[in-house]
Amino acid sequence: MITVENLTKAFGTQPVLRGVTLTVPRGEIVIVIGRSGGGKSVLLKHLLGLVRADSGRIEVDGVDITRLRGSALDAVRRRYGVVFQSGALFDSLSVVDNVAFPLRERTRLPAREIAARAEEKLGQVGLAGMGHKYPAEISGGMRKRVAIARALITEPEIVFFDEPTTGLDPILVNTIHRLIGDLHATFRFTALVVSHEIPEIFEIANQVAMLADGRIIEAGPVAAVQRSDNPIVQQFIRGEPGA
């Protein structure tokens, strides 16, 4: 379980997070929604240990990661899988080498076993036989799926998705959402998804949290958030101008 308590962060004089409090229960998918520039990616970077908080706590199964550095932080990160917004695939490596990379670098598994697992993972995201291609040679949707395969190859307990469907067409958006849902049903990882795709993303969510003005202004089960009487939440969900 991940708990974020009163997290604050400012860049210079500009506050971005003003006391974020959020819980991601074990084995559930929590979607963080909010306007662009509202601090969702900054929150995610805190959870990944890429940015230091000004104050507050982030506990991963009771361990406060805001105080961790070096190998102690890496021990927590080994439990993570991350799908970056851009995919963040290594462009000098082929698709299969990208997927195999975490296993190759973090385990002592035989090369044949790693290759077999990478091919299997590519098959699970619908890219069997595409391993020889390079990231520049495949479409945006394929890159997202490769990124998902790479994030899941170590069978992580916790997976973070940073806007996994940005820039994709509606059919691909639903394909990726269904893929995340199916993989979650199979592997039961805890997931935090930062997304704009409303209401499509709600189909795979257990809970939704809305970040606005540096705070979580609404959080709870999907149906409860959809029925929220908070005008900012309703404006955002309906996509009304000014939200």
Partner 1 sequence: MSGIPSRLLDGVEAVGRFSLSIVIALGRFGAFLGHAVGLLLTPPLKTRQFLARIKFVGFNSLPIVLLTGTFTGMVLGLQIFIVLSRFGAEAFLGPAVALALIRELGPVLSALMITGQAGSALTAEIGIMRITEQIDAMEVMALNPRRYLVVPSILAGVIAFPLLTAIFDTVGILGAYLVAVKLLGLSEGTYFGEMQTFVEIRDILTGFWKSLSFGILVMWVCAYKGFYVGHGAAGVARATTQAVVLSSVLILVWDYFLGSVLP
- Give the SS3 label for residue 112: helix
Q: Which helix (H) or strand (E) holds 96?
A: helix 95-106
Cβ–Cβ under 8 Å, residues 161 and 93: no
Mark residues 154-193: x for contact with partner 1 by CB under 8 A, - for none.
----------------------------------------
18 vs 45 by CB, closer to partner 1 = 45
Distance CA 54, CA 20 (A): 12
91 interacts with partner 1 by CB under 8 A: yes
Nearest distance, CB of residue 85 and partner 1, angstroms: 7
Distance CA 103, CA 67 (A): 27
Mark residues 103-132: x for contact with partner 1 by CB under 8 A, - for none.
--xx--------------------------
DSSP per position, 130-179:
-TTS-GGGS-HHHHHHHHHHHHHTT--SEEEEESTTTT--HHHHHHHHHH
82 interacts with partner 1 by CB under 8 A: yes
74 interacts with partner 1 by CB under 8 A: yes
Distance CA 223, CA 145 (A): 28
Nearest distance, CB of residue 122 and partner 1, angstroms: 18
Among positions 23-62, residues that touch partner 1 (CB under 8 A) are: 48-50
Tell me which residues touch partner 1 (CB under 8 A): 48-50, 74-75, 77-78, 80, 82, 84-86, 88-91, 101-102, 105-106
